[in-house]
Amino acid sequence: QRKNPFSSDDRLASKPAHTHRGDPTYGRPPEGSRTEQRGKDAHSHVGKEVEELCLIIRRTGEMGEDGHVRVTFGQLFETYVTISNKVVGILLRARKHGLVHFEGEMLWQGKDDDVVITLL
């Protein structure tokens, strides 16, 4: 179906019915759509949370001999959970962007309280 009959958006009619993995628009919402704007807003919000997490690590952690600030997951969790209940997800995002380092795939409250998180 090239166009949703219930939509008043005529831009969809001119768009090809299928995109392929090599296409730069593959998996992306149409340009200028509300979906695209919501995605941009969400990306910006998560970026701000990652910045806030790094500031909290810097504030609560201790400087190591190598110049990197370190904090345990338990200490960070107790501090950050009052601000956001998504601390583990934000930590994973920060690691993906090369801002922090910690051992393991996932951190669990209680079990991983002694895992050291290093601010890079």
Q: What residue segments make up the domains of the chain, in order of their start?
A: 34-119
Quick one: pLDDT at residue 1?
45
Give ∠ CA 45-63-120 in degrees, rounded to 5. Answer: 45
- pLDDT tens track for 17-61: 567 788 888 888 888 999 999 999 999 999 999 999 999 999 999
Class of domain 34-119 as given by CATH: mainly alpha
Quick one: pLDDT at residue 73?
93
In this structure, are residues 90 and 55 in contact, taking their beta carbons and an 8 Å threshold? no
In this structure, are residues 104 and 112 in contact, taking their beta carbons and an 8 Å threshold? yes
What is the chain's mean pLDDT, rounded? 85
Q: What is the pTM of this model?
A: 0.67
Q: Which residue has the tokens 């409250």?
A: 109
pLDDT above 70 as % of the chain: 82
